[in-house]
Amino acid sequence: MRLTAIVPTHDRPDALRACLVTLGRQHVGPGRLEVLVVDDGSTTDIAGLVDDVARGSGVVMRCERQALGGLNAARNRGAAVAGGDVLAFLDDDTLVSPGWADAMLSAFGLNPCAGLGGKIELDVSGPLPAWLAARKYYLAEYDLGPQPRWLDGDPVPVGANCAVRRSDFERLGGFRVGLDRIGHSLVSNGDTEFFRRLRGAGGRLRYEPAAAVVHCVPRERLTLEFFLRRDFSQGVSDELMFALEQPLPRPRRLARLGSELARELRPMGETVAKDLVRGRGTVNARLFASYWRGRLSAVRNAPGATRPGSATPGSR
């Protein structure tokens, strides 16, 4: 069995180099691991960087370049040219543990799983604000404990450190282009939608903590301003995914949105009241409002992701 580690990247050479160095230190049998970097329209010399790191490692590394198309388009491009039986996807700002590749290969070799999520810990460059502690999942933290287990419900694997059998990836048609990052956009849910679709098609999902990575979080992602953008984009992303999973005409989507918001208002009102009494300010209220503005915006504009593997008109 052979593993291909697919690393999409866009103009983050320093983070990518650190990621590739850790991949170059993996100890698996000859020919069992290849690293494939997909350069999604970078303005820097990504291919040269990959060649430079590869020369100092015993792991085969190569670079594929495409015009700016977004994270899911890059993932699909990597899968199309990969040589592995198992396709693993990593963010370019992750650092993989020494036994990551071996744990991935062992999990698929020993278990009848179609997809897998590895453990993701955070390396945060700065103190965490108190309000962020309950939102670390927005920074791609994924820790379901020290023991492997089957994933029969949420949370499904996270795109920063996940894998799928090539046969199942091809059966599903890949990730939906337009339902994830493109350039500086914060739209997400491409990984969530894919693994929910995989499970719906009969594929079993598994959690493997030994296939661990560290996600490096820069200081600028710890600000309220970033999280207001992040929550708004999450609202947009959730509506995009809901529209794919249960297509409804706009009036019914608005009615559903109103019903869900009504259920959330009371508990959020109680949270805000406690915050004000304890002098915590209105951070939770602002983040709540930003998320729901995003959902409303998505319904009003009625955008939608496309079928797997195809382009989204006007998404660039």
For 29-51, what is each residue's pLDDT tens digit? 888 999 999 999 999 999 999 99
Length of the chain: 316
| Structural contact between residues 84 and 166, judged by C-beta atoms closer than 8 angstroms | yes
Question: Which amino acid, 39?
Answer: D
| Structural contact between residues 169 and 126, judged by C-beta atoms closer than 8 angstroms | no
Per-residue pLDDT at 179: 85
Per-residue pLDDT at 313: 30
Give dist(CA 110, CA 184) in Å, integer.
39
Half-sphere exposure in the Cβ direction for 162 (13 Å, CA): 26
In the block, tokens 């700065």 appear at: 126
| Structural contact between residues 87 and 10, judged by C-beta atoms closer than 8 angstroms | no
| Structural contact between residues 46 and 20, judged by C-beta atoms closer than 8 angstroms | no
| Distance (Å) of CA 92 to CA 19, 38, 73, 156, 253 | 6, 10, 15, 20, 36
Per-residue pLDDT at 267: 86
CATH of region 3-222, choose from 3.40.50.20, 3.40.50.920, 3.30.70.120, 3.90.550.10: 3.90.550.10
Return the biggest CA–CA distance within the chain. 62
Cα–Cα nearest to 271, from 259, 263, 280:
280
Per-residue pLDDT at 122: 95
Which H or E run contains 92?
none
For 138-147, what is each residue's pLDDT tens digit? 899 999 999 9
Per-residue pLDDT at 309: 62
Predicted confidence pLDDT, tens digits, the chain (316 residues): 999 999 999 999 999 999 999 999 998 988 899 999 999 999 999 999 999 999 989 899 999 999 999 999 999 999 999 999 999 999 999 999 999 999 999 999 999 999 999 999 999 977 888 888 888 888 999 999 999 999 998 899 999 999 999 999 999 999 999 888 887 788 889 999 999 999 999 999 999 999 999 999 988 889 999 999 999 999 999 998 888 888 888 888 999 999 999 999 988 888 888 888 877 788 889 999 999 999 999 998 864 444 566 543 333 2
Question: Which amino acid, 169?
Answer: F
Cα–Cα nearest to 19, from 35, 31, 30:
35
